[in-house]
Amino acid sequence: MNGNVEVVVIGGGYGGVTAANSLARRDGVSVTVVNPRPEFVERIRLHQRVTGSDDATEDFGKVMGGNVPLVVDTATRIDAAERQVSLAGGGTVSYDYLVYAVGSGAADPGVPGAAEFAYWVSDLEGAERLRSALDAAPATAPVTVVGAGPTGLETAAELADAHSPGSA
């Protein structure tokens, strides 16, 4: 390919932003990020959103290079033959190369009752649902955190800190 290389990154999470920033530093490469939200979600801070100690979002201008435009929309179709991404808003974005970095989510644990009664802290909506449920519950209501990985431990610690005597 001669001239400028157009790269489209679908997904503005950690992987997408890292790829976009790295690629945008190359001469002759233009990068566009497509993301459904206008702000970067700090997934590793979602446990703090649950308790209100951090909003777990950041302006893309603080995490992404100024030469990387953000298209706030949802990719609905990838046409590899035409090298275009169709957007929910009706537009398209053309590319020479595509980076598909839409992230990960919580897996269904297959545990009876989990779908009805459990809350995930793996995305912004899940953290918001948990925060609303905790706000509606009595302060003395028991809360059980399942999972001892980094997210589970951070969530348990954040919840304990938020409900300890003298906390705001």
pTM for the predicted model, two decimal places:
0.83
Instruction: Show me where the domains of the chain are located.
Output: 5-100, 114-162
The SS3 call for residue 29 is strand
Kindly state the tokens that stand for 92. Answer: 């398209």
How much is the pLDDT for 1? 47
Residue 134 in tokens: 């905790």
- Residue 166 has a pLDDT of 56
> For domain 5-100, which architecture applies?
3-Layer(bba) Sandwich (3.50)
Query: Tens of pLDDT along the chain (168 residues)?
Result: 456 999 999 999 999 999 999 999 999 999 999 999 999 999 999 999 999 999 999 999 999 999 999 999 999 999 999 999 999 999 999 999 999 999 877 777 788 988 888 898 888 999 999 999 999 999 889 999 988 888 889 999 999 888 766 555
